[in-house]
Each structure stands twice: as C-alpha cells, then as structure tokens.
Structure 1
Amino acid sequence: MSGITVTTNETATPSAPRKRKRPNQNTYPIAWSEVKEIDPHGRTREVIVIEDTPPPTPHSPTTSIRSAVFNTSSSYIPPIRTRAQAAAAAVNTASMSAAAPPTRKRKREQQEDGEVTGSHVKRAYVPNATAPTSFPSGSAATAPTDEAAKTPGSSQASTKAPSCDDKEGHYIVAVDDVIYDRYRTVRLLGQGTFGKVVEAVDTHTGRSVAVKIIRAIPKYRDASKIEVRVLNKLKERDPLNKHNCIHLLDWFDHRNHICLVSELLGICVYDFLKDNDFQPFSRRHIHAFAKQLLDSVAFLHDLRLVHTDLKPENILLVDSTYTNAPLSPYQKGSRNGPPKTKRILRSTAIRLIDFGSATFEDEYHSTVVSTRHYRAPEIILGLGWSYPCDAFSLGCILVEFFTGVALFQTHDNLEHLAMMENVMGKLPERFARAGAKSKPEFFKEGAKLDWPKAKATRQSKKDVRATKSLAEIIPPIHGDPSSRAFLDLVKQLLTFDPAQRITVRDALSHPYFTLHEPLDP
C-alpha cells in the first residue's frame, strides 16, 4: 500500500490571517476500503486501505504548494506516513464536506463553596438552579439509543455511535433527544458538579418529569447508585409522600450515565430568594417551611439516615408561582427610586431533594460534609458528626429565610468559628477543649479561640465584627409571641455542642408550632 497526500485550502501567503473556510470543491476524491489483516503475533485487526490519488497540478490556483509534499520540479513525492495517520487523514477529509458548526464554549463550573460578593452569596448550582431554558438541537446526544445500538443486523449496530459526552463527562443534551427510548427532552433545568437536570416528557404516559443525568465519571456514578438506594428506601417507607421528600419514579443506565427520574417541580428556594432580590420570606411562610423541613428530616433520622447537605438549593417549591405585593415604606429603599414590589408565593408546599450525600448512621462517615455556609461546628473541628449536623443546618436555613441572605458568609474555618461565637456566644468549655485537641491550630491557651490571627486580613476582621448576635438578627415583635418562640427555636438548633443541640424530632414539639401562626409585619 502506498502513501497519499490530501489537498487543503490554506493560502500560500504566510502573513494572511487564519480563517475557517469552506472545503474546496476541486479537491480530488479519496478512495479507501476496509480490510482485515493478521499482525506478526497472529491477531486479526481491521485496517483502512487508502488508494493513491493523482498529484495535483503545480499551477492549479486551488492547490497550496508545500515543500514537504512537492519539490521544486513539481514531481510527486509521497509523504512518509503510518497507516493510522493515513486513515485519520482520510476520515477527516471525508468529513470536511459536511462540516458541523463550531461548538459553543461552556462556562466553567463554580467552586463548591462559592464566593462572597457584596452582601449576597454566590454559590454553585445544586441541583435545580435557574439555567438556560433552551439548548442547541442536533447534538451528539441524538445518536442511536442503547437498545438500537445492540440490535443485531441493524445499520446502527455496524457503526460506532458518536460520543454523547463532553470532555468533562457531562451528557450533551439536545431538544427532542429521546433518552432510553422513553423520555423526550424539553429543556435544560440546571447543571451542577454531579451532572444535569432536564425537563422531559414520558412518552409512555405523557407526563412531564425531571431527569437527573449523572456525569459519566466513576465517583459520580457510585454516588448516584447510593442515592438510588436511599430514594427507594424513602419511597418504600412513605409511599404516599407525607414527609415531602422527592420520590423516585424510575432510574436506568443510559450510555454510561445513571439517570434518575422524578416528578417535575418548581424552582429551588434559593433561586426564589435570588429572583426576589434576596428579600426575606414572610413570617407565615417561614412557619410553614420550618414545619415541613423538620418533619422531612425527622423522617430521615427515624430511618437512621443523615442528609448532610441541607441548604436552600436542595429545597424545591412544588409551585413557584407568586403574586406581587408592594413593599412597606421602610423596605422601599431609595426615596426617589421607582416603587418596588415583593414576590409572595401562592403555595408553601416544598420537597426535600438531593440525597447523593445521605449517609446511614452505621455506615462510613467522610470527614467533611455539608456545604460551607450550613456546616456545623463539630464538622469544622473534626470531632465527628451525626444527626445533630442536620439540625444545625436547619437553623442556618431558617435564619436565611428570615433575613434573605446566608448567616455565615465565609470560606475560612477559623473565621467561620469566630462568626459563630458572635452569633451564638462563646464556645462552651467542654466543647472547646475537645476542639483544641482535634484542631490545636484554631486555639490558644485555655482552649480559647485564637482569633484574630496575626495573618488575618483587615477585611476578615471587619466581616467578623459585622456579624450580629441572634437576638439582634431576630428581634422580638411586640404583640407577637411567636417571634420570641422562633428566636428560641433557632437558638436551640444553633447550639455549639451537638450533645446539647435540640433534636429535629423534639423541635417539632417546640412552642413555636403550638402557638398561633406568626403575624406578618
């Protein structure tokens, strides 16, 4: 088999800028065929045999002249190539006539803990953050389904299906892509480190569903299988979904992507806060949210499960429709600005989601769990964790519902602990001594928190000083006893020592839930 040259469309002028051009119509066709041969070790392999083409005319205006291919006398000199290189060149040239449009760049994912900007916290999406509602059609995701690719004798079975993944292992989603021969995609709902969530229509039932498509990376696949196990357990123990945890409708492995199908819900609570200009929820709505969340988590704890990643992003609204109401005078801000309104939810029904990090009490506990802003002090101090870490996260969430912004806006462990002392009071002595043994770098003599360190920045010191106590954050309202009860409940959830922290089950019996619903200001 002899070598081959492939004509190109490059200009001979070295100073001309490089531009993408359409393939030249005057290039010579390439003839090739597939054959089988036996290598020196006696193994059979398939190879592509490419036939020689006649040399291009040296004076042809459509042919670029390269010294590596033609000498000065214009005689044809076959380039030295391996068989693999020749095969690749043939395939690439053959595909030029149907060149695909350039791929769109994808934004890099945000860091796990996010970053603080101004008075708000920007966090990574997990898993139902607002995202573009449309995406390009005709992507590689429209390749043959698993079943079609395995069907003997089909034309699809004889060719390798194109990749349906991007370079980071995310499934490439396209409009009207049919997943697993059943779920037709409608739009992208969101994307996170775990994968993507899409809205789809179940072609068997006509029902709209959400499909969580896990990245084709071993650690995410393994975590998703744990989540499937947990979700099946929840559905088995609560078939009527009285405890408001997401229900798994179906799951399967589609082209190396674990897919979880669930009911289609509204946006997450964090997105609603963000779209509402981080204005807090009404006291009546906080009361309703608190009761549902405590009940959901108590149900998990009864099953000996710790969620470990409670946060507003993992709480979905069943119905995210709302009405607009004018702000009270003290909330309007600029006197000369246009009148502002506040979004009021029509329904406070919610669902707890994302059980990818949920852990059974008697199984392995990783050292660090929870998203930074909702992480309990015992986790920061490396003292181990259990059910109480969920209670602490719920306390942080309830304060965020009340103020509109995260309680602890930090990314440094020592700074985080210093903020906790400002909010919750000094570390109890017994708990501080245990922390000093585990993390001596955070303490000084006498088991006192070593803050501020000499290397602490001015901004860091300023942020800690600006952190208010719970009594300042949740001031009592005259004539509304539930406001004092709410403060007491949050204090008990945000207790330093997990052994002294109120359990989620006991929190459901707190006077906050036995009094009349709180009044709105």
Structure 2
Amino acid sequence: MSGCSSSSSASEEEDEGIDSYRKGGYHAVRIGDSFAGGRYIAQKKLGWGQFSIVWLAYDTQTSKYVALKIQKSAPQFGQAALHEIEILSAIAAGDNANTKCVVNLVDHFKHAGPNGQHLCMVLEFLGDSLLRLIKYNRYKGLEFNKVREICKCILTSLDYLHRELGLIHTDLKPENILLYSTINPSKDPIRSGMTPILEKPEGNPNGVVTINTIEKKLKQRARRAVARISERRASMGGVGLMPKPARSLDGIDVRCKVVDFGNACWADKPMAEEIQTRQYRAPEVILQSGYSFPADMWSFACTAFELATGEMMFTPKTGQGFSEDEDHLALMMEVLGKMPRKIATCGARCKDYFDRYGDLKRIRRLKYLPLDRLLVEKFKFSGDDAREFADFLCPILDFEPEKRPTAQQCLQHPWLNMNKQKNDETKIESRVGKLNI
C-alpha cells in the first residue's frame, strides 16, 4: 500500500506503531491541531499507510470535512508525495465538475514538525472501501444491480484516466476504491451530525498516551482479530458453524471513486517493472513483457469477479517445486484456457515458467474449469447469469493485452446496461398493452 486512502476505512486494522514517530517518520497529530495557517483542524485519525497517516480534518474555509494525508518526512517519502500531487493535480484539472469517479485533490501544502517537513494532501472525504463492503456483506456476492453500478463507476474513472489523461493506475483493487459515503451512517461526520472540534480539547493537552490507553487498544485489537476470524469462518461455512446469509445492502449508496495514486504512472513513462497487488496482477506483468492500460483492465475484471462472488478470482500460493508466480499463471489458465504460445514465450521472465511449447515447466496437470461453469458449480449462479457475466468478463481477461476491450468499450457492454434494457422493454410492453386495450 503506497499511501493510504482518503477515507474512513484507511488501514486501521493494526496500529502504525510509536517507533515510526521519529525523524523522517510520521508527524504526531493531536485532536484540535491546526494546519495550513489554521485552515484545517484535525478531528480524528482515520488510518495509516506505509508512507503516510490520514486524519479527518475540518476545513474552516469551506465548512466541509476533508481527509488530510500527511506524508512521512524522509526525502524518499517527500518525492513520492510530489509524484502523487502531480498526478492528482492533473486529474483534478480535467475534472472540474467532479464527475469522473476519481478522488478529488482539494489542496496541498508543507507542514514543519519536530520530525521534519511533511508534504500534506487534502482530499475530499469519502466513505468505506469496496473491501469493507465485501466484508460487511460477509464475503457473499453482491446482487448484480449493485455490481453493475459499481462497475460503471470504476470504468468511468478508468476511461478518464486512460483515454483523456494517459494515466495507468497500476494498483486497482477493492481496497483502493471508496464509496461516496460510509456504510454505517454514525461513522459519517455529516450524516451523524458531528460537531466540528475547532480548538484543542481540555485535559491531556499534550496528547500524552497513558498506559491504560495502550492496554485498552491492545485488548480492542485482540477482540477485533478474534471477531474477524470468526466472521470469516462463519461466512465461509466453517466447521460446526452455520454460514451467515448476506446482509441487505438496501439504502447503501454504492457509487464509488478510485483513490490512491501513489503508484500511478503516465503510460509513456512506466515507473516499475513489478506493479499491482499480487491477486490483481496481469499476466504481462508477471512475465515482464511490458504493460499499459490493459493491465488496469485485468485488475478491474478481478475486482468485478470479487464483488459478484465475494471471493478473489486468483489466490496463488507457493508450492513444492514451484513459485507463487507459476501457480498464479496456472490458476489463470485453469479458468481462461491455455495461454497462447506467443504470449507464453515472450517476456523477460517467460523462460522461468514456460518451456518452448508454451507449457508450464513445473505445474503439468491443470484442472480446467471455464469461468461460466465455475460460476455455476462453485458460486451457484443460474446458467443465464453465469453466461452473461462470463461474456462480460472473459474478453477483459484475454491473455493478449491488445485484445482486451478498453474501459470505454466495456461501458457499452450489454451486461452493464441490462437494467436499462429491461426498463425499456417494460415501458414498450406497457405501451403495447395500452394500444391493444
């Protein structure tokens, strides 16, 4: 995780640790602290990432809540922040109406603290991540109408990034896509009617952390860990436990925005050879045969599958005599068919995994189960639903990147527009009915 999200669901699972608050590290923030000459007032910590911490702040100039992302102060983190600010500024400049489903950069500035100078980004406050939504739904698939609505938002953002800006996100996954608002209204500062804190609270003015507070945090963390394990087992139908049904998502706004551009790059200036989080990584990235916009499209398809089924599409593991990469390629082929020889034999790493015939060197027996059959047999989709969804996903999961449809083309796909078609058909039928009366 390059930075962390502008949301209520940035990485709060574990604590970032007191050791990181030192020269070159995080800036210690206390409730009521002010930034940018008093414009932004810190309200509560939202989460943290490898490079930064994120706080909910109140913007006294606009009277809005925002997410304040404060980068670590060491030079390499400053460079990473400058890169992200450049990308986010380009995104904001082309999206004046804020309709492209991409997080909006409000402001950026430098803040001097005891640990050094920190670059700060002010982003619009958003809600929970799609990963949190999947967990909230107990790892069951979301209903198709919700999946379609989410997919349209993601594709709108990818179309804008790819076609209009020439940007590759390089780390698209449920964790980096945030809902407009929180699942739980009480966690949303606006919907919960939270009164902004405009000055430092009295008592404990220096933000001294007491031993009791640390013990309390440790106990809370232990309870959360146990609850997470129990929830996961229950949702998967663990031994002796009744599987929990999916929750109703009625009333939850599933419109969303793509966030975290710390690893994004311009298509004509790729930055790293290895991009993307493992489970969402495209085959061309594994084989190091060069990547562009289609790599984001692969990650999108993996994300869409996860939304519809509740499970990751590919979860490779290291095994006896084979690597995680080779297992990943084998899992892809089991669902998508054999990789074309020209793809399997080109790329800096292809000889590590494939022989000259395009067969994997160390994993010889593959259990083929095409996507539509997998959806029926494992996830209990109806035949029609499985066929229609597979028809949407399979072209995006083509091993040949050039053959994958663009985000713009995907937005026109019949599967994404089924609701509209059904509504139109209903209207036509009702009109015909009236004419026949």
TM above 0.5, yes or no, is yes
Match of 1:502 among 397, 401, 405: 405
1:278 maps to 139
Structure-1 separation of matches of 2:161 and 2:128: 23
Deviation at 1:211, TM superposition (A): 0.7
Q: Which structure is richer in relative contact order (CA contacts within 8 A, separation 6 or more)?
A: 2
Letter in 1 for 2:254: T
Question: Which structure: larger Rg?
Answer: 1
Unaligned runs of 5+ in 2: 186-234, 318-323, 423-437
Higher mean Cα deviation, 196-205 or 373-382? 196-205
Aligned to 2:297: 391
Normalized per residue, which structure has more helix? Answer: 2
What SS is found at the alignment partner of 1:422? helix
| Structure 2 match to 1:374 | 280
Cα distance in 2, alignment partners of residues 421 and 131 from structure 1: 33
Contact 1:184 1:201 in 2 (8 A): yes
Q: 2:107 aligns with which of 250, 257, 260?
A: 250
Which of the residues 160, 172, 182 maps onto 2:28?
Answer: 172
Give how far 1:202 is off.
1.4
Q: Is the 8 A contact 1:284 1:517 kept in 2?
A: no
Q: Residue type matched to 2:396 in 1?
A: L
In the TM superposition, 1:186-225 aligns within 5 A as 186-225=43-82
CA drift of 1:426 comes to 0.8
357, 370, 375: which one pairs with 1:474?
A: 375
Picking from 246, 249, 274, the partner of 1:344 is: 249
**Quick check: 1:309 aligned with 2:165?**
no
Q: In 2, are the aligned partners of 1:332 and 1:340 still within 8 Å (CA)?
A: no
Q: Which has the higher mean CA deviation after the structures are superposed, 198-207 or 422-431?
A: 198-207
Equivalent of 1:422 in 312, 317, 334: 334
In structure 2, what is the Cα distance between the partners aligned to 1:378 and 1:164? 36
- 1:366 deviation in Å? 1.7
For the residues of structure 2 that align with 1:216 and 1:440, how far apart are their CA atoms? 42
Percent identity for Structure 1 against Structure 2: 30
Distance between the aligned counterparts of 2:244 and 2:328, measured in 1?
A: 37
Instruction: Indicate how the Cα distance of structure 1 residues 164 and 274 shifts in structure 2: closer, same or farther if over 3 A, else same.
Output: closer
Q: Deviations over 1:330-375 (max 9, x none)?
A: x995998597561415211111111111111222432111111111
What value does the CA root-mean-square deviation take over the aligned residues? Answer: 3.3
Query: Equivalents in 2 of 1:251, 1:504: separation in Å?
Result: 30
Q: Distance in 1 between matches of 2:178 and 2:279?
A: 19
The letter for the 1-side match of 2:330 is A
Q: Which residue does 1:12 correspond to in 2?
A: none
1:362 matched to 2:268? The reply is: yes
CA distance in 2, matches of 1:419, 1:333: 24
In structure 2, give the amino acid aligned to 1:433: T
Q: Which residue does 1:443 correspond to in 2? A: 354
Residues 148-196 of structure 1: CA distance to partner in whole angstroms, max 9, x if unpaired? xxxxxxxxxxxxxxx9943661222222222233211111111111211
Query: Structure 1 pair 186/131, CA: closer, same or farther in 2 (3 Å)?
Result: farther
**Residues 412-467 of structure 1: CA deviation (Å, up to 9, x unaligned):** 111111111112111112111214x64312122422111328xxxxxxx9xx86x9
In structure 1, what is the equivalent of residue 195 of structure 2? none
CA distance in 2, matches of 1:278, 1:506: 29
The DSSP-based 3-state class of the residue aligned with 1:342 is coil
Output the CA distance in 2 between the equivalents of 1:361 and 1:285.
31
The one of 207, 232, 246 equivalent to 2:89 is: 232
- Residue 295 of structure 2: SS of its match in structure 1? helix
Change beyond 3 A, Cα 1:251–1:514: same
Q: Deviations over 1:377-434 (max 9, x none)?
A: 0010010100110110001000110111211112511111111111211111211121
**Helix, strand or coil at the partner of 1:224:** helix
SS in 2 for 1:253: strand
* Whole-angstrom CA distance in 2 between matches of 1:332 and 1:445: 41
Contact persistence 2:4–2:260 (CA under 8 A): no
Q: Which structure 1 residue ranges, 5 or more long, are not aligned?
A: 1-111, 114-123, 141-162, 324-330, 454-460
Q: CA 1:514–1:271 in structure 2 vs 1: closer, same or farther (change >3 Å)?
A: closer
Secondary structure of 2:172's aligned partner: coil
Q: Against the structure 1 CA distance between its residues 518 and 254, is the aligned structure 2 distance closer, same or farther, given a 3 Å change threshold?
A: farther
Kindly tell me the number of residue pairs found equivalent between the two proteins: 353
Task: Summarize deviations over 1:285-320 as a string: whole Å, max 9, x none.
Answer: 001111111111011111111111111111001123
Q: Whole-Å Cα distance in 2 between the matches of residues 415 and 341 of structure 1?
A: 31
Which of 100, 103, 121 lines up with 1:260 in the alignment?
121
Code of the residue aligned with 2:372 in structure 1: it is A
1:34-113 alignment runs, 5 A limit: none
What TM-score do you get using the length of structure 2 for normalisation?
Answer: 0.73
What SS is found at the alignment partner of 1:402? helix
**Conserved in 2, the CA contact under 8 Å of 1:164 and 1:172?**
no
- Indicate the residue corresponding to 1:298 in structure 2: 159
Aligned-partner Cα distance in 2 for 1:363–1:512:
34
CA contact (8 A) 1:164 1:171 kept: no
Kept in 2, the 8 Å contact 1:374–1:393? The answer is yes
Provide the C-alpha distance between the structure 2 equivalents of 1:419 and 1:479, rounded to a whole number of angstroms: 23
Cα distance in 1, alignment partners of residues 68 and 106 from structure 2: 10
Deviation at 1:518, TM superposition (A): 9.8
